[in-house]
Amino acid sequence: MQKLFILLILFLGSAKIFGQEPGVIEKTVVYKNLAGQELNATIFYTEASQQKTGNTALALFHGGGWVFGDPSEFFEACRWFARKGYVAVSFQYRLSRNSDGTYPHPDITPVECVKDARSALRWLRSNADDYNINPEKIVAGGQSAGGQLALSTALVDGVNEITDNLEISPEPNALLLYSSNVNTLEPWIDNLLGERRNEIWEISPYHNLKKNMPPAIAFHGDEDNQVLPYIVQMFKAKTLELGNEYELHTYPGFKHYLGEGNDKYSRYFDEEILDLSVAFLKKRGF
């Protein structure tokens, strides 16, 4: 009887170990080097995902008005996506901030941020084999300014880093947009552009909308005081008129941060929004 009890304990212990979720592997690499300034990509995946081919990759860009923020703000969400079987990447991009913390930076504007985002998608697509990623299953996503950067990879064809291989497409196959900026014609961006303010049109998602935009799911609060709801509705109307797929979820009573009070995901969202994001992707084969 004692021997049977010991065997039962060992079996239950083993079952618990085998039933645990696989650990998430994190890896940081340089995806772009500009005159000595290295930009990093932090990649999250599991051993299980690397045992198969054709993985879907998520390229994510943090918010912060093109001046503030950090890639780490998406790290917990990347871990969550990795446990769901995705290869999730949080990309660093240049910020319009000087070394002493003042802004804007004279040589870095939202245009440079757009260039970095498009470089990031090209890097991910060209290195897809290294992480068993299907290059036709790359999703771009972001919060606030990061959402504008995600949209720029699909819409802003005329803005590219001179060192990029333009034969590699930066266009994602789907979009995840969290309180995303959809129109850059606003005083904040005008200020960041300075004497280059005429370039504001080139990076505006609304003013560069076109047919055959990748399918997008968007989340916005109906009391957002940074990305105004009527501007989002104008974007939705125009993109649907062009025949694009744009699924909008509006949250009553919420402002810019849809996960206010949820420190786990940097106030960006909660797990309900993440679940809806995954349902949207799975429905489309991602």
Q: Give the type of residue at 223.
A: E
- pLDDT by residue (tens digit) across 65-96? 999 999 999 999 999 999 999 999 999 999 99
* pLDDT > 90 in the chain, percent: 91
Tokens for 108, please give them.
Answer: 């870095």
Q: Where are the alpha helices (DSSP H) in 108-267?
A: 110-126, 145-155, 187-193, 229-241
End-to-end CA distance of the chain: give it in Å, rounded.
51
| Euclidean distance between CA atoms 271 and 265, whole angstroms | 9
Give the burial string for 230-254 (b: 16+ CB within 10 Å, else e): ebbeebbebbeeeebebebeebeeb
- pLDDT by residue (tens digit) across 124-154? 999 999 999 999 999 999 999 999 999 999 9
Report whether 217 contacts 249 (CB < 8 A): yes
Architecture of domain 21-283: 3-Layer(aba) Sandwich (3.40)
User: With a threshold of 0.75, does the pTM exceed it?
Assistant: yes
State phi, psi for 87 to the nearest 5 degrees: -100, 110
Q: Which of 120, 118, 135, 173 is nearest to 55 (CA)?
A: 135
Q: What is the pLDDT of residue 35?
A: 82
Residue 104 CA: distances (Å) to CA of 65, 174, 264, 268: 11, 31, 29, 24
The helix/strand/coil state of 45 is strand
DSSP lists the bridge partners of residue 251 as 221
Q: What is the pLDDT of residue 10?
A: 40
| Euclidean distance between CA atoms 124 and 134, whole angstroms | 10
State phi, psi for 184 to the nearest 5 degrees: -85, 5
- pLDDT by residue (tens digit) across 26-71? 999 999 999 889 999 999 999 999 999 999 999 999 999 999 999 9
